[in-house]
Amino acid sequence: MDIFRIEGPVRLSGSVTVNGSKNASLPIMAATILAGGKSILSAVPHLSDISVCSQLLAELGCKVTRNDNGDLCIDSTVIDNPVGGYEIVRKMRASICILGPLLARCGRAEVSLPGGCAIGYRPVDIHLRGLQELGAKIHIKNGYVIAEAKNALTGKGIFMGGPFGSTVLGTANVLTAATVAKGRTVIESAACEPEIADLANCLNKMGAKITGIGSPRLVIEGVKQLRPAEYEVIPDRIEAGTFMVAAAITAGQLQMHNCRLDDMMAVVDKLRNIGVTIEATNDGCIVARNGSIKPTDITTQPYPGFPTDLQAQFMTLLSLAEGNSIIIEKIFPDRFMHVAELSRMAADLRKEGPTIIVAGVKKLIAAPVMASDLRASAALVLAGLAAEGTTTINRVYHIDRGYEKIEEKLNPAGAKIVRESV
């Protein structure tokens, strides 16, 4: 098992290139199930979650390889085992996004209820309800979702809203299945995240007929079948946001390449409000902080609101603000396992239900800490960059799920991160 040892404090100065989006890549990989033949996806990052999804597709019968350019090649000519087994699915919640395309392709799918990060209870009832509206028969048996469609799926008006807003993976499941359903499907309260728009654009390149992309109302005219395609995945806005916070928390300056600011307006707005300068460039931006960090209030919301996947990173940053900040988590109200670890590093945090009151401190102090989930581990890396002394982060396999060799990206800009096997 690997650990990180991080020497701080440092001041970052240099440039980083943002990878393709993990959260866009996974549902697009699943969507290739519908296009019998060889699809080629470029800009797919080298991450453990991508490896898990590749293993899952291979279990279904696909052939998944990387070509000489690093592109991901998925040959879905044969799907002869429409089962997403527990041993693979338990490793990653996004595995559930094979359910819709597998059902539509094979008429039957068995997928284990998913696992993933320990950030709170995340039911899949909206996914299942949406597929049932398209005509699927669904039941749960021995921890597996068993979905069947003896006749062709049929388009329908479907409402996808839930108690915490629209469901991203639920929208992905219903959207992919609806592309080959008979007639018209209208998804109301669809997730508007850029990753869903990217999936829809990829599906259209495969021959789907989807309109309303980027809006909460998606209209899908069913087609008989999809075809393989070549497609480039969008940049990862969460990785970009993490690196922006890295520049801010170290009072440094980073030039970001392959960064789409239009996908990150809520994040950019908060950073500017607390004293960080962000200057747009041709392919990204330059992020810098010269003065103090100002306090602010953050409420996580579905896109285009502030993303829950950057809540932990901003909590770390606001721990060093001059004053008190309030963070309210409205997507995953239990997503606060990083609070105890940041407190070990002298952050002053108080939890009250889904709210954290952050009292700014003058400095963070290095300590041994434990990564509990993907974004929490990124927050601890950021804390280590700013803290005095040597921070040891255990269980960094969490960060490898969503950040490709983060130490190799940040060290040339002045970070002092060492990966060790213990």
DSSP 353-419: TTEEEEE--S--B--EEE--SHHHHHHHHHHHHHSBEEEEEE-GGGGGGTSTTHHHHHGGGT--EEE
The rounded distance, in Å, linking the Cα atoms of 197 and 55 is 25
Strand 217-221 and strand 389-394: the pairing is: unpaired
Percent composition of the chain: helix, strand, coil (DSSP 3-state, to 5) = 35, 25, 40
The active-site residue out of 53, 62, 117, 285 is 117
267 in Cβ contact with 338 (< 8 Å): no
Question: Shortest CA distance to 197 belongs to which of 240, 158, 231, 163?
Answer: 231
The rounded distance, in Å, linking the Cα atoms of 322 and 363 is 11
Question: Shortest CA distance to 50 belongs to which of 35, 81, 33, 28?
Answer: 28
Q: What is the CA radius of gyration of the chain?
A: 21
Question: Shortest CA distance to 374 belongs to which of 12, 80, 116, 126?
Answer: 116
* Tokens 């899952």 -> residue: 56
Active site residue 117: yes
Crossing angle (nearest 10°) for helices 194-205 and 168-178: 10
Residue 158, token pair as written in the block: 């479907």
- 3-class secondary structure, 143: coil
The rounded distance, in Å, linking the Cα atoms of 380 and 324 is 20
Question: Shortest CA distance to 91 belongs to which of 51, 126, 120?
Answer: 51
* Tokens 């974004």 -> residue: 375
Question: Shortest CA distance to 33 belongs to which of 213, 203, 234, 167?
Answer: 203
Residue 189 φ/ψ, nearest 5 degrees? 60, 40
CB neighbours of residue 353 within 10 Å: 8
Kindly state the DSSP code that residue 221 receives in the 8-state scheme.
Answer: E
Question: Shortest CA distance to 179 belongs to which of 143, 142, 219, 151?
Answer: 219
Residues catalogued as catalytic: 117
